[in-house]
């Protein structure tokens, strides 16, 4: 069964959505920002820029150093239009991402709701999910949050890299940690025969 949250590439649908939003025939320009040395982010921005041009949308590309980014996200008015970045889960529970990004009171500089997103129904679900000791009920509420966030396309995951780890046949005890990726080695479990 395919993942329930996959975005598809559909320029005709994009044109229809622009028309529905009242932008048909109008000039629409925005900036896509990224870290200046993020080669993969720059490539994604260039592809996105090219695809947007096909539907009449102009995207300007802008590298922003991390210190500058930390300053510009402090206000909604200076926040980049779109940001390409990477993040991995801090815990093996995605609830942290929902709370961090989508709870309306987690605004910069103390929080990381850089979307400046406010939705009372999502706030309510997040507070109730965090407050319950019933794991199944919490999961159902987080699923509702996930569905709403993906429907709104507040953030769009574009790539999940496939990582490969090479080990000699006499090295044992390695276990891949999806949160830390290929750079994590559980040395306390590993041994050589």
pLDDT tens for 103-131 read: 999 999 888 899 999 999 999 999 999 99
Structural domain boundaries in the chain? 7-86, 87-160, 162-193
- For residue 137, what are its two tokens? 């009920």
CATH 3.40.50.1390 fits 7-86, yes or no: no
pLDDT in tens, 39-69: 999 999 999 999 999 999 999 999 999 999 9
Q: What is the structure's pLDDT at 89?
A: 67
pLDDT bin (cut points 50, 70, 90) of residue 3 is low
**What is the pLDDT averaged over residues 160-186?**
81
Q: How far apart are the first and last CA of the chain?
A: 40
Exposed / middle / buried, residue 38 (Cβ in 10 Å: 0-12, 13-18, 19+) = middle
CA angle 123, 73, 45 (to 5 degrees): 100
Q: In this predicted structure, what is the pLDDT of residue 188?
A: 83
Joined tokens for residue 36:
């200046």
Report helix, strand or coil for 172: strand
Query: What is d(CA 162, CA 145) in angstroms, rounded to the nearest whole number?
Result: 27
Average pLDDT, stretch 165-192? 83
Asked if residues 64 and 72 have their Cβ atoms less than 8 Å apart, the reply is yes
Residue 135 CA to residue 138 CA, distance in Å, equals 5
The answer to whether residues 44 and 159 touch, using CB atoms and an 8 Å cutoff, is: yes
For 25-42, the pLDDT digits (tens) are: 899 999 999 999 999 999
**Residues near 68 by beta carbon (within 8 Å), at least 6 away in sequence:** none
Residues contacting 192, CB < 8 A, separation 6+: 170, 171, 172
What are the structure tokens assigned to 13, written together?
A: 């649908």
Q: How far apart (Å, rounded) are the C-alpha atoms in residues 87 and 138?
A: 23
**Over the chain, what is the mean pLDDT?**
89
């Amino acid at each position: 069964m395919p993942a329930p949250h996959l975005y598809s590439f559909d320029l005709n649908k994009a044109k229809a959505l622009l028309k529905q939003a009242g932008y048909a025939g109008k000039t629409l320009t925005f900036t896509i920002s990224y870290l200046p040395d993020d080669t993969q982010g720059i490539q994604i921005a260039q592809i996105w820029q090219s695809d947007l041009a096909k539907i009449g949308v102009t995207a300007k590309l802008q590298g922003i150093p991390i210190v500058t980014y930390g300053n510009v996200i402090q206000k909604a008015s200076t926040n980049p239009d779109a940001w390409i970045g990477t993040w991995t889960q801090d815990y093996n529970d995605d609830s942290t991402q929902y709370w961090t990004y989508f709870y309306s009171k987690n605004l910069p500089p103390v929080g990381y709701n850089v979307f400046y997103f406010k939705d009372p129904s999502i706030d309510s679900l997040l507070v109730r999910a965090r407050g319950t000791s019933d794991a199944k009920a919490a999961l159902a509420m987080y699923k509702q949050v996930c569905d709403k966030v993906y429907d709104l396309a507040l953030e769009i995951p574009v790539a999940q890299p496939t990582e490969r780890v090479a080990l000699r046949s006499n090295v044992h005890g390695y276990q891949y940690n999806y949160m830390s990726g290929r750079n994590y080695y559980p040395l306390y479990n590993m041994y050589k025969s």
